[in-house]
């Protein structure tokens, strides 16, 4: 097809999935420099793109879908790159009749992999590479560079950390949306006890109490920012860390933009099922245990379905400590 002059990329959620769309936007703009690149997402996730230099304009999903469709019509896009592939994006494509290239979700194989625990159903490709397939027909190729995140403000470590933690610290992301994605407190404490450097705990108000318990067990080596910093500030702290430990959550995935060595800890979910192994970073560890019941879900659950939580309880803390202290 003729090179499109105006392209709309769509992904509504979630944080981790949207951050992995950034190489698509970057490659579109750098390889089709005369094209306008627009992005449509939910209001709650606009921060991921609001400072992105490769984007011409950022659009947010309106409360009424018809208003979003009206806006898309008015922009007169030549092409839609649908990286979500759900009911709403299908309605948008049908209503606007704009030519589109759509991400293939491979729902059946993922369902079989989840229910039967057979790895042969899982594609080895990273989510970024699967997203990039949607723009291949334009001659756009993956530049094999890390994901992008542009911090909104200029910060200093003195704004957030005591002097003892500023020269060199480990960022430990202890938050995650669902219980089965989080290490139990006693496992986090075991890891912290083995680390040589000061530790900064990161997370929202939902893990503020957890952070208090962890700090009480370890002492001044641990400093908690949980519930005290917004996401942009937390990303800044991750960008300044010596190394990062984190679970399957957005902030952990965003940390990959800064190429910090990462210990990525997985419980009830698995990176293979989602295609979100650490992407284009120089050094990483994926910590998880092989179990017949794992993965128990794609996105996490509020409790272990079998009651034992062995996917997290059996993780070797020594392996993580060795990686971080190296």
Delimit the domains of the chain by residue range.
6-138, 158-325
**84/45 Cα distance (integer angstroms):** 14
For residues 306 and 294, give the distance between their C-alpha atoms in angstroms, rounded to a whole number. Answer: 11
Phi, psi of 160 (to 5 degrees): -130, -30
Q: Could you tell me how many helices (H) and strands (E) the chain has, helices first?
A: 13, 11
Q: What are phi and psi of 284, to 5 degrees?
A: -150, 155
CATH classification (class only), 158-325: alpha beta
CATH class for the domain made up of 6-138 = alpha beta
| CA 312 vs CA 17, 79, 176, 181, 290: distances in Å | 23, 44, 14, 8, 11
Indicate the pTM of the whole model: 0.93
Residue 181 phi, psi (nearest 5):
-95, -10
- pLDDT of the chain along its 326 residues, tens only? 788 999 999 999 999 999 999 999 999 999 999 999 999 999 999 999 999 999 999 999 999 999 999 999 999 999 999 999 999 999 999 999 999 999 998 776 676 667 766 666 667 789 999 999 999 999 999 999 999 999 999 999 999 999 999 999 999 999 998 999 999 999 999 999 999 999 999 999 999 999 999 999 999 999 999 999 999 999 999 999 999 999 999 999 999 999 999 999 999 998 888 889 999 999 999 999 999 999 998 889 999 999 999 999 999 999 999 999 99
């Amino acid at each position: 097809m003729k090179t499109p002059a105006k392209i709309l990329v769509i992904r509504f959620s979630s944080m981790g999935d949207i951050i992995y769309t950034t190489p698509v936007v970057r490659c579109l703009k750098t390889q089709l420099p005369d094209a306008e690149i627009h992005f449509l997402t939910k209001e709650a996730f606009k921060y991921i793109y609001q400072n992105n230099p490769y984007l011409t304009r950022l659009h947010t999903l309106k409360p009424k879908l018809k208003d979003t469709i009206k806006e898309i019509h008015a922009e007169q896009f030549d092409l839609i790159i649908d990286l979500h592939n759900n009911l709403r994006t299908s309605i948008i494509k049908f209503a606007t009749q704009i030519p589109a290239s759509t991400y293939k979700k491979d729902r059946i194989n993922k369902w079989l992999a989840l229910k039967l625990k057979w790895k042969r159903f899982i594609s080895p490709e990273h989510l970024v590479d699967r997203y990039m397939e949607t723009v291949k027909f334009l001659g756009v190729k993956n530049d094999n560079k890390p994901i992008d995140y542009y911090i909104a403000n200029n910060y200093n470590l003195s704004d957030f950390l005591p002097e003892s933690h500023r020269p060199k610290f480990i960022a430990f992301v202890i938050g995650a949306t669902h219980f089965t994605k989080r290490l139990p407190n006693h496992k986090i404490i075991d890891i912290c006890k083995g680390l040589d450097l000061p530790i900064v705990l990161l997370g929202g108000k939902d893990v503020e109490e957890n952070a208090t318990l962890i700090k009480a067990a370890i002492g001044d080596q641990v400093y908690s920012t949980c519930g005290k910093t917004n996401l942009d500030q937390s990303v800044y702290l991750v960008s300044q860390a010596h190394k990062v430990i984190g679970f399957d959550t957005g902030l952990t995935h965003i940390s990959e933009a800064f190429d910090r060595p990462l210990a990525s800890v997985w419980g009830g979910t698995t990176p293979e099922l989602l295609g979100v192994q650490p992407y284009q970073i120089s050094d990483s560890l994926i910590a998880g245990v092989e179990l017949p019941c794992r993965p128990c879900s794609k996105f996490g659950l509020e409790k272990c379905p079998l009651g034992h939580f062995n996917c997290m309880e059996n993780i070797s803390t020594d392996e993580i400590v060795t990686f971080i202290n190296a």
